[in-house]
């Protein structure tokens, strides 16, 4: 399989073409239902399954294009998460089609109810994965607490695990709490389906974030970089890098030496990190000293010692790079769980940079990944609110149609 090259495309992938198969499917479905809805219900399900499969394929194709345009984008998360969801909807319609072909007497309303129940069915089908993920998250958090103590931030993984499992269990149990008239069933569904839609959205975001981060971490950039930005993350009391920061420096150093060995070109290191109130020197200075002890000449190191967070790391490092070589090719080194969100900050300051990830201890990664996921949820609130609101409205409207 040919390797996808990141950040080599200048135009964003478009999804407008999906309107063509959607319009064609709508025309075919309308014709079938108007001709003989009961007789052609199975065929309608086949068309819906095909449409979902085409849409899922379209999102995966857009994902490939997005990686070539900008891998560090919320679109990468959305394309991945909702492509998986549409694939499961396709399976649901395929099952319903077989049921209707085998039992022609079944009501045509199965067509709508399959779509109406898609969010709850997705939760059911993915529950084994989420249960395993939640158990692994709890185990890693227990190990993290044993190594680093009881702190609120170290409990995030356990809290998320509880919410994941509790949400599934609640909705499954809630389905057994309804009986009576069609109006009562409708009211029940008006609660359950929007709740499942909310759960669906955050599950797609979670899965999409995990996959997106795995993709960018496993990618090995081309060995043609002029600069490598090393993102700071705290130093010891004696002014030496912590193991986490040392991992980032060593990863950058390893990449630079491989590049020099294969191309003869040694990149310039941008050590990026300011001085905290409890730090004896800046993180930038600590990284510089470490690099020089590893044999890197001082002329190959540029200090950026003003930044206090990842956003400033990227902004101030870009200013340093523009002073030296505005057309230089850039990589940045950080811990594996932090690559995707760091790339988002790089693109926010209009800097094209490819990330390389340093490994961290197994028990630290899941909890840190959860923090990154929560951090991603706090950005682009309007865009996320629009998508989530659209999902909720769709399920409410479908519920009203189905029961009215």
List the domains of the chain with CATH numbers. 1-107 (no CATH), 117-218+362-404 (no CATH), 227-360 (3.40.50.620)
More confident residue, 132 or 268: 268
CB 383 within 8 A of CB 74: yes
Q: What is the DSSP string of 78-109?
A: HHHHHHHHHHHHHHHHHHHHHHHHH-TTS-TT
Please give the Cα distance from 273 to 313 (Å, whole number). Answer: 7
Q: Is the pLDDT of residue 140 over 90?
A: no
Which residues in 198-315 belong to E strands, given as ranges? 227-231, 268-272, 301-304
At residue 135 the predicted structure's pLDDT band, cuts being 50, 70 and 90, is confident
Please give the Cα distance from 31 to 53 (Å, whole number). Answer: 21
The token duo for 357 is: 């990830």
Residues 6+ apart with CB under 8 A from 252: 228, 230, 269, 331, 333, 356
Query: Dihedrals φ, ψ of 389, to 5°?
Result: -60, -40
More confident residue, 232 or 375: 232
* Element holding 354 (H helix, E strand): strand 353-358
Please give the Cα distance from 56 to 78 (Å, whole number). Answer: 11
- Torsional sign, CA 158, 164, 170, 176: negative
Instruction: Name the one residue in this structure whose structure tokens are 């130093």.
Output: 235
DSSP state of 280: S
Average pLDDT, the chain: 90
pTM of the shown model = 0.88
At residue 105 the predicted structure's pLDDT band, cuts being 50, 70 and 90, is confident
CB 234 within 8 A of CB 277: no
Q: What is the pLDDT of residue 1?
A: 37
Bridge partners of residue 357, in order along the sequence: 334
DSSP state of 240: P
3-state secondary structure (DSSP) of residue 333: strand
Angle at 137 between CA 135 and CA 140, to 5 degrees: 110
- Torsional sign, CA 301, 304, 309, 311: negative
Query: Dihedrals φ, ψ of 279, to 5°?
Result: -110, 140
252-261, 332-341, 366-375: segment of lowest average pLDDT: 366-375
- Whole-Å CA distances, 145 to 171, 233, 364: 31, 20, 10
CB 84 within 8 A of CB 100: no
The token duo for 211 is: 């996959």
Percent of the chain with pLDDT over 70: 98
């Amino acid at each position: 399989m040919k390797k996808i090259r990141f950040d080599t495309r200048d135009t964003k992938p478009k999804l407008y073409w999906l309107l063509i198969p959607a319009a064609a499917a709508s025309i075919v479905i309308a014709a079938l239902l108007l001709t003989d809805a009961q007789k052609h219900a199975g065929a309608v399900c086949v068309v819906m399954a095909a449409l979902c499969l085409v849409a899922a394929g379209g999102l995966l194709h857009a994902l490939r294009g997005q990686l070539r345009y900008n891998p560090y984008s919320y679109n990468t998360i959305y394309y991945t998460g909702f492509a998986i969801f549409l694939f499961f909807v396709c399976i649901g319609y395929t099952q319903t089609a077989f049921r209707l072909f085998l039992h022609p007497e079944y009501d045509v309303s199965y067509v709508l109810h399959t779509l109406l129940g898609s969010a709850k069915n997705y939760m059911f089908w993915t529950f084994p994965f989420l249960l395993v993920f939640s158990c692994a998250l709890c185990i890693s958090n227990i190990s993290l607490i044993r190594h680093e103590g009881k702190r609120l931030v170290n409990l995030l993984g356990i809290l998320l695990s509880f919410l994941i499992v509790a949400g599934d269990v609640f909705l499954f149990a809630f389905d057994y709490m309804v009986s009576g008239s069609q109006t009562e069933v409708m009211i029940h569904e008006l609660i359950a389906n929007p709740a499942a839609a909310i759960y669906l959205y955050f599950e797609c975001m979670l899965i999409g974030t995990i996959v997106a981060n795995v993709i960018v971490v496993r990618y090995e950039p081309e060995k043609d970089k002029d600069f490598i930005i090393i993102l700071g993350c705290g130093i010891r009391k004696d002014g030496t890098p912590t193991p986490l920061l040392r991992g980032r420096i060593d990863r950058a150093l390893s990449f630079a030496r491989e590049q020099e060995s294969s191309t003869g070109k040694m990149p310039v290191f941008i050590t990026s990190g300011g001085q905290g109130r409890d730090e004896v020197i800046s993180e930038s200075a600590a990284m510089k000293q470490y690099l020089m002890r590893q044999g890197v000449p001082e002329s190959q190191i540029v200090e950026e010692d003003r930044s206090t967070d990842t956003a400033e790391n990227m902004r101030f490092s870009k200013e340093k790079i523009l002073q030296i070589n505005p057309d230089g090719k850039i990589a940045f080194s950080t811990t594996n769980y932090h690559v995707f969100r760091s790339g988002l900050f790089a693109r926010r300051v209009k800097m094209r940079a490819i990330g390389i990830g340093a490994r961290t201890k197994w028990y630290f990664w899941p909890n840190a990944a959860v923090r990154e996921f929560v951090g991603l949820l706090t950005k682009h609130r309007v865009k996320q609110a629009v998508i989530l609101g659209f999902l909720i409205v769709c399920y409410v409207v479908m519920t009203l149609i189905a029961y009215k």
